[in-house]
Amino acid sequence: MDITPLVNGLYGIPVLGLVFQAIGYLVAVIPPNSTSIMSQATPLALAALCGVLCERSGVVNIGIEGTMLASAFTAWVVGVAINPMFQAAPTDVFGITIPLVIALIAAIGVALLISALHAWLSISLRADQIISGTIINIAAFGVTGYLDQLISKTSPAGAGEFTRFTPPDALTNLPGVGWIVSMFLNQGPIAMSAIVLIVGAQVWLFRSRWGLRTRAVGEHPRAAETVGIDVIRLRYKNVMIGGMFAGLGGAFLSIEATNSFQLGMTNGRGFIALAAMIMGRWTPLGAFASALLFATFLQLGQLINIAPPGGDLGTIMSAVPAQLFDALPYILTIVILAGVVGRSVPPAADGQPYERESAT
């Protein structure tokens, strides 16, 4: 049966026609771009996972943005520095080289140090956690910007980048689900490990001893202490492990998504990740789903400029300044944080420093 007359008829109805065209546009552009959407989602998801681990244990970390930026810079600059020392060709799958691996480890190490600083300030010194996070953000922006300026004068070559795995065409061409295969498998090593880490963290948080204790410490630390749990130690561990995830997300930006570092290249992702964490109700999987949603909007903002929709929808949208579409994910962040998704309840002791019942 030919449905063209039906489609044309629906297009003809004002408003409903526009909705129909918008859905048609989304269906047309999202599957072919699924790989890019996952790439956009990866740093968001890793940063959100950092947020989940910190806040589930009771520590607010708004320094994720700065942590990621510092890691992105470290990964790139370490790659630049040690690349000349190694000549081996990259592996076929993922394009792994020794300099890239070392760069990745360095990036995670720096993130670990920064989150240890945040942990020390907010857990041991009981400093204001927002201020501690802000310090990290400002310092990371300033220090990476300054060093980048010093180095980029010589316009050095980076260590290259991790490459994407190419799944067999038989899978990616599967009707209906092929694009989902591309989304998750046509990815580099960091993006793929992000998926594994998120699923793992979900199970870990809700089924393991560590997870139960972490949630208890974030909800009612005194209760946890009275059953013999070391609140301070557990918070340190969670903040530092979370920091490593943020570091992985930062490295993704400079040695997997691109092969370069730009000033402030995290571009607010650390903050969008916190919105994704809230929208995902402090669960790893929820945060990942939210990160995918944000990523879709980020991607749409670009696609609308490159391949605008046709028809009446296209006519109307061409009247709207293009910058507005770039702002979509940020507008979405504000809308979500304003509570449109319903009230999500943070861990009860989130952001509250814990003072031990003194054993003096």
Rounded to a whole number of angstroms, the minimum distance from the CB of residue 228 to another protein is 3
DSSP secondary structure letters along 123-175: IIS---HHHHHHHHHHHHHHHHHHHHHHHHTT--------------HHHHTST
Nearest approach, Cβ of residue 208 and another protein (Å):
5
Q: In the 3-class helix/strand/coil scheme, how is 80-94 assigned residue by residue? A: HHHHHHCCCCCCCCC
Residue owning tokens 């504000």: 334
Closer of 88 and 196 to another protein (Cβ):
196
155, amino acid identity: S
What count of other Cβ atoms lies within 10 Å of the Cβ of residue 200?
A: 13
CA distances from 318 to 17, 33, 80, 130, 280 (A): 17, 22, 43, 41, 33
Residues 10 and 162 sit within 8 Å (Cβ to Cβ): no
Q: Distance (Å, rounded) from C-alpha 171 to C-alpha 266?
A: 33
Nearest Cα neighbor of 290 from 243, 333, 232, 234 is: 333
Instruction: Give the rounded distance of the alpha carbon of 1 from its chain centre.
Output: 45
Distance (Å, whole) CA 139 – CA 93: 37
Task: Give the residues lining the site for another protein (CB under 8 A).
Answer: 204, 207-210, 212-213, 215-216, 219-220, 222-229, 345, 348, 357-360
Based on CB atoms, which residue is closest to another protein, 38 or 197?
197
Q: Shortest Cβ distance from residue 102 to another protein (Å)?
A: 30
Rg value, the chain, Cα: 22
Tokens linked to 112: 């670990």
Nearer to another protein, 219 or 326 (CB): 219
* Minimum distance, C-beta of residue 32 to another protein, in the bound complex (Å): 40
Among residues 114 and 224, whose Cβ is nearest to another protein? 224
Whether 287 and 249 have beta carbons less than 8 Å apart is answered as: no
Which of 38, 23, 24 is CA-nearest to residue 180?
Answer: 38
């922006």: which residue's tokens?
Answer: 141
Nearer Cβ to another protein, position 170 or 359? 359
Comparing CB distances to another protein, the nearer of 323 and 358 is 358
- Taking the complex as a whole, the smallest distance from the CB of residue 224 to another protein amounts, in Å, to 7
**C-beta atoms surrounding 354 within 10 Å:** 18
Judged by beta carbon, residue 146 or residue 206, the one nearer another protein is 206
Q: What is the closest distance, in whole angstroms, from the C-beta atom of residue 219 to another protein in the complex?
A: 5
Residue 27 or 345: the one with the smaller Cβ distance to another protein is: 345
Nearer to another protein, 58 or 99 (CB): 58
